[in-house]
Amino acid sequence: DTGVSQNPRHKITKRGQNVTFRCDPISEHNRLYWYRQTLGQGPEFLTYFQNEAQLEKSRLLSDRFSAERPKGSFSTLEIQRTEQGDSAMYLCASSLALHRGTGLPDTQYFGPGTRLTVL
Protein backbone atom coordinates (compact mmCIF):
# COMPACT_ATOMS: atom_id res chain seq x y z
CA ASP A 1 0.00 0.00 0.00
CA THR A 2 1.34 3.42 -0.90
CA GLY A 3 -0.21 5.31 1.98
CA VAL A 4 -2.80 8.07 2.11
CA SER A 5 -3.13 10.04 -1.12
CA GLN A 6 -4.78 13.40 -1.71
CA ASN A 7 -5.76 15.19 -4.88
CA PRO A 8 -5.17 17.77 -6.06
CA ARG A 9 -1.94 18.70 -4.30
CA HIS A 10 -2.43 22.38 -5.06
CA LYS A 11 -5.55 24.38 -5.85
CA ILE A 12 -5.76 28.07 -6.68
CA THR A 13 -9.24 29.50 -6.93
CA LYS A 14 -11.02 32.81 -6.92
CA ARG A 15 -13.12 33.96 -4.00
CA GLY A 16 -16.67 32.72 -4.29
CA GLN A 17 -15.86 29.58 -6.25
CA ASN A 18 -16.52 26.06 -4.99
CA VAL A 19 -13.69 23.55 -4.58
CA THR A 20 -13.62 19.83 -3.88
CA PHE A 21 -10.72 17.77 -2.57
CA ARG A 22 -10.35 14.02 -2.56
CA CYS A 23 -8.65 11.72 -0.07
CA ASP A 24 -7.89 8.03 -0.60
CA PRO A 25 -7.02 6.38 2.71
CA ILE A 26 -4.91 3.31 3.34
CA SER A 27 -7.13 0.52 2.09
CA GLU A 28 -8.00 -1.35 5.29
CA HIS A 29 -8.40 1.79 7.42
CA ASN A 30 -11.94 2.37 8.62
CA ARG A 31 -11.35 5.81 10.16
CA LEU A 32 -10.74 8.90 8.04
CA TYR A 33 -10.02 12.41 9.31
CA TRP A 34 -9.88 15.88 7.77
CA TYR A 35 -7.77 18.69 9.22
CA ARG A 36 -6.90 22.23 8.20
CA GLN A 37 -3.43 23.62 8.85
CA THR A 38 -2.38 27.24 8.46
CA LEU A 39 1.21 28.44 8.45
CA GLY A 40 2.91 28.09 11.81
CA GLN A 41 -0.02 26.31 13.44
CA GLY A 42 -0.90 22.75 14.31
CA PRO A 43 -3.52 20.83 12.36
CA GLU A 44 -7.05 21.87 13.27
CA PHE A 45 -9.64 19.09 13.45
CA LEU A 46 -12.51 19.42 10.98
CA THR A 47 -14.32 16.10 10.92
CA TYR A 48 -13.93 12.34 11.00
CA PHE A 49 -15.64 9.25 9.63
CA GLN A 50 -15.84 5.71 10.79
CA ASN A 51 -16.60 3.77 7.62
CA GLU A 52 -19.25 5.90 5.90
CA ALA A 53 -20.63 7.50 9.06
CA GLN A 54 -19.56 11.04 9.93
CA LEU A 55 -19.17 10.86 13.71
CA GLU A 56 -17.67 14.20 14.73
CA LYS A 57 -17.74 17.59 13.15
CA SER A 58 -15.96 20.66 14.44
CA ARG A 59 -17.94 23.78 15.23
CA LEU A 60 -15.28 25.52 13.17
CA LEU A 61 -16.72 23.81 10.12
CA SER A 62 -19.15 26.35 8.76
CA ASP A 63 -22.14 25.56 6.57
CA ARG A 64 -19.91 26.14 3.57
CA PHE A 65 -17.89 23.02 4.36
CA SER A 66 -19.17 19.52 3.75
CA ALA A 67 -17.47 16.14 3.74
CA GLU A 68 -18.62 12.75 2.50
CA ARG A 69 -17.38 9.21 2.51
CA PRO A 70 -20.13 7.48 0.57
CA LYS A 71 -18.84 3.92 0.43
CA GLY A 72 -16.53 3.98 3.39
CA SER A 73 -13.47 4.22 1.18
CA PHE A 74 -12.39 7.55 -0.34
CA SER A 75 -13.67 10.86 1.02
CA THR A 76 -14.33 14.30 -0.45
CA LEU A 77 -14.23 17.69 1.25
CA GLU A 78 -16.12 20.48 -0.47
CA ILE A 79 -15.88 24.15 0.30
CA GLN A 80 -18.58 26.33 -1.19
CA ARG A 81 -18.27 30.05 -1.84
CA THR A 82 -14.61 30.11 -0.86
CA GLU A 83 -13.21 33.02 1.12
CA GLN A 84 -9.64 34.22 1.45
CA GLY A 85 -9.62 32.93 5.02
CA ASP A 86 -10.05 29.41 3.68
CA SER A 87 -6.51 29.49 2.29
CA ALA A 88 -4.67 26.71 4.10
CA MET A 89 -3.31 23.20 3.79
CA TYR A 90 -6.06 20.60 4.03
CA LEU A 91 -4.79 17.33 5.45
CA CYS A 92 -6.41 13.93 5.39
CA ALA A 93 -5.44 11.09 7.71
CA SER A 94 -6.60 7.53 8.16
CA SER A 95 -6.30 4.89 10.82
CA LEU A 96 -7.62 1.60 12.03
CA ALA A 97 -10.10 1.92 14.86
CA LEU A 98 -7.96 -0.52 16.83
CA HIS A 99 -4.38 -1.55 16.15
CA ARG A 100 -4.31 -5.22 15.18
CA GLY A 101 -1.40 -6.02 17.43
CA THR A 102 -2.34 -4.15 20.59
CA GLY A 103 -6.12 -3.85 20.28
CA LEU A 104 -5.71 -0.22 21.30
CA PRO A 105 -6.52 2.97 19.34
CA ASP A 106 -4.16 3.28 16.40
CA THR A 107 -2.20 6.30 15.26
CA GLN A 108 -3.19 8.34 12.24
CA TYR A 109 -1.32 8.22 8.93
CA PHE A 110 -1.37 11.52 7.14
CA GLY A 111 -1.53 12.27 3.44
CA PRO A 112 0.60 14.93 1.72
CA GLY A 113 -2.18 17.52 1.89
CA THR A 114 -3.92 19.83 -0.57
CA ARG A 115 -2.74 23.41 -0.47
CA LEU A 116 -5.61 25.81 -1.20
CA THR A 117 -5.02 29.41 -2.19
CA VAL A 118 -8.05 31.66 -2.50
CA LEU A 119 -7.40 34.86 -4.45
Which chain residues interact with another protein by CB under 8 A? 31, 33, 35, 40-45, 48, 50, 55-56, 58, 91, 93, 104-113
Nearer to another protein, 14 or 104 (CB): 104
User: Residue 48 or residue 82: which is nearer to another protein going by CB?
Assistant: 48
Torsion over CA of 119, 8, 68 and 45, rounded to 10 degrees? -70
For the beta carbon of residue 85, count every other beta carbon within 10 angstroms.
Answer: 9
Nearer Cβ to another protein (17/60): 60
Helices (H) and strands (E) in the chain, counts: 0, 11
Least separation in angstroms between residue 64's CB and another protein is: 20
